[in-house]
Structure 1
Amino acid sequence: MKKYKWIIIALNLIVLLIYFNFSVSKKEAVLKDGKLVLLQLAPVDPRSLMQGDYMSLRYHIAQNINMDHIPKRGYCVVRLDKNGVADRVRLQKETTPLNNGEYLIKYSSPEQWTINIGAESFFFQEGQAEKYENAKYGGVKIDENGNSVLVGLYNGQLKNIK
C-alpha cells in the first residue's frame, strides 16, 4: 500500500504542474497576441486606494449596472474609440452575438453590487505609489475569448506609466 501512496502523490504533483504550466502559457499567449484595450478607471475610496505595494482598481465599465438581470459569469462587450479606450456596450452570458468593432472581456460577479474583470489590483514596487496616483486608465490585453491580463496603468495622455 505504501508503494501506491507515493505513486498517487507523484501523479497528483505531475497533474498540478501540467495545469500550472498550461495556465501560464495561456496568459503568455494573451500578452503576446492580445489586443491592448484601455479601461477608464473609476474613483475608489481614497482610504483604500493605496495599501502597501498595490493599488485597488475599479473600472468605469463596471459601474451603474443593474445587477438584478445579469448572470454571475459572462462577458462585457466593449467598443473602442479612436484612442483604444473601451466603452461598455452590453453584458451577455455567451460569446455571441458580437458585432464588428466589439470585443469581449470576461467578468464574474462575486458580490451583489459589482462585476470583476479579473484585474482589480495593480502591484508595484514599494515606494513607487506617487508615480501611479494620477493614473486614468488600466491597460489590459484581451484575446478573442475574452481573457484579459492587466499590463499597466496609463496617464491622461494615454502613456504607459513606468
Structure 2
Amino acid sequence: MKSLRQVKLSIAAVLLLSVGLLAMINWDIVKREAWLAEGEVVRLELAPVDPRSLMQGDYMTLNYQIMATIRSKADGDNLNGYVRVKRNADLVAQFVAFEANYLDASTLPENELLLQVRLRGQVKLATNAFFFQEGQGERFEAAQYGEFRVNEQGELLLDALLDQDLQKL
C-alpha cells in the first residue's frame, strides 16, 4: 500500500501534468487564432468529391484542382518541400514551381506564396475534410473554393468554403 506522501506526490504530478497540457492546448489555440487573423489569404479551387461519411457524420471530403497539377509536375517522385503559387486578382492560386527550401517572402514576386506540400503516392497540401453540422450538407454542396490562411512556414489553415462567386457559405 502507498504511503500518504506517495499519494500526495502522485496527485501533485497529475495536477502539474494536467496544467501543463491545458497550457499547451491553449497556446496552440492562441497561435491558430492569430494565424487566422494575420495569415495571407489564398484560395484553392475544389475538385468534386462525395460529401458524406456514415461513420464520421456530415462532412465534405476536400480535393483541390491544383493537386492534379502538382502530381503531374512531380513525375511520381516523393517530395517534401514547397509549391510556389501565384494568386490572381481573386486570390485563387495557380501552380508556378516546386521549391525544395522555404524562400523569404521578400524574395518572391508580388502575389506569390509558398505552400508546404508532401507527396507520397498522394499529395498532402492542406486539410482533406471539412466537417459541418448535421443537416447542413445542402448548404455546402455549392462550395467551389477553399479559403485558407498561410503562415510564415507555408502551412495552410482552412478559414472558409466559398461558392462560385467567392462568397462564404
Higher strand share goes to which structure?
Answer: 2
| Aligned with residue 116 of structure 2, among 91, 100, 106 | 106
Measured after TM superposition, the shift of residue 57 of structure 1 is 0.2
How many aligned positions are there? 154
8 A Cα contact 2:79 2:118, kept in partner:
no
Q: Tell me by how many angstroms 1:54 deviates.
A: 0.9
- TM-score (ref. length: structure 1): 0.82
The offset of 1:108, in angstroms, is 4.0
Q: 2:130 aligns with which of 116, 122, 127?
A: 122
The within-5 A match list for 1:8-157 is 8-44=13-49, 46=50, 49-51=51-53, 52-64=57-69, 65=71, 66=74, 67-71=76-80, 74-96=81-103, 99-101=108-110, 102-109=112-119, 112-157=120-165
How far is 1:84 from its partner? 0.6
In structure 2, how many angstroms separate the alpha carbons of the residues matched to 1:148 and 1:20?
19
Identity percentage of aligned residues: 32
Q: Relative to 1, partners in 2 of residues 1:75 and 1:122: Cα closer, same or farther, differing over 3 Å?
A: same
Distance 2:100 2:18 in 1: 34
Task: Give ranges in structure 1 of 5+ residues lacking alignment.
Answer: none
Cross-structure match for 2:3: none
Give the AA of the match of 1:96.
Answer: L
13 and 136 in structure 1: CA distance in 2 versus 1, 3 angstrom threshold: same
| Aligned mates of 1:70, 1:108 — CA distance in 2 | 5
Q: Which has the larger radius of gyration?
A: 2
Residue 158 of structure 1 and its aligned partner are, at CA, apart by 1.5
Q: What is the distance in 2 between the residues matched to 1:105 and 1:41?
A: 16
Q: Partner amino acid for 2:155?
A: N
Runs of 4+ with >6 A deviation:
none
| Contact 1:63–1:114, Cα closer than 8 Å, also in 2 | no
Any unmatched runs of 5+ in structure 2? 1-5
Q: Distance in 1 between matches of 2:42 and 2:141?
A: 20
Partner deviation per Cα, 1:33-75 (whole Å, 9 max, x = no partner): 122211011232x3xx32232101011222242341412xx33
Aligned 8 A contact 1:76 1:92 in 2: yes
TM-score (norm 2): 0.79
**Partner Cα distance (1:16, 1:95) in 2:** 31
CA RMSD of aligned residues (A): 2.0
